[in-house]
Structure 1
Amino acid sequence: MAEEGASGFQIHPMDQFIVKPLFGGDHIAWYTITNVTLWMAIAVVAIAAMLMLGTRRRAIVPSRSQSVAEMIYGFVYNMVEEVTGREGVKYFPYVLTLFLFILFSNLLGLLPTAFTTTSHIAVTIVLAMLVFLGVTVLGFVKHGIGFLGMFWVSSAPLAIRPVLAVIEVISYFVRPVSHSIRLAGNLMAGHAVVKVIAGFATLVVASPVVIGAVTALYGLELLVACVQAYVFTILTCVYLRDAVGDVHH
Structure 2
Amino acid sequence: MAGEAHSEGGLAFHPLDQFKIHPLFGEGPIQWYTPTNVTLWMALAVLCVIGLFVLGTRGRAVIPSRVQSVAELAYGFVYKMVEDVTGHDGVKYFPYIFTVFLFILFSNFLGLIPGSFTTTSHIAVTAILGFGVFIAVTLLGFVLHGAHFLGLFWMKDAPLVLRPIIAVIELISYFVRPVSHSIRLAGNIMAGHAVMKVFAAFAPMILISTIGVVVTPVSVLAITAIYGLEVLVAFIQAYVFTILTCVYLKDALHPGH
C-alpha contact 1:54 1:68 (8 A) present in aligned 2: no
Structure 2 length as normaliser, TM-score?
0.93
Matched, 1:144 2:149: no
CA distance in 2, matches of 1:10, 1:123: 29
Indicate the residue corresponding to 1:27 in structure 2.
29
Indicate the residue corresponding to 1:11 in structure 2.
13
Structure 1 length as normaliser, TM-score?
0.96
CA distance in 1, matches of 2:12, 2:220: 17
Question: How does 1:1-249 map onto structure 2 within 5 Å?
Answer: 4-5=6-7, 10-204=12-206, 205-245=214-254, 247-249=255-257
* More strand by percentage: 2
Which range moves more in the overlay, 187-196 or 56-65? 56-65
CA distance in 1, matches of 2:183, 2:8: 38
Q: Please provide the CA RMSD for this pair.
A: 1.5
SS of match in other structure, 2:56? helix
C-alpha contact 1:150 1:248 (8 A) present in aligned 2: yes
* More helix by percentage: 1
**Aligned residue identity for 2:190:** M
How far has the Cα of 1:46 moved from its partner? 0.8
Deviation digits for residues 166-218 of structure 1, max 9, x if unmatched?
Answer: 00000000000000000000000000000001101121345322111111000
CA distance in 2, matches of 1:139, 1:56: 37
**Aligned residue identity for 1:248:** G
Equivalent residues, number: 246
Query: Percent identical across equivalent pairs?
Result: 65
Indicate the residue corresponding to 2:209 in structure 1.
none
Which range moves more in the overlay, 105-114 or 3-12? 3-12
CA distance in 2, matches of 1:133, 1:8: 45
SS of match in other structure, 1:159? coil
Where in structure 2 are there 5+ consecutive unaligned residues? Answer: 207-213
CA distance in 1, matches of 2:236, 2:256: 31
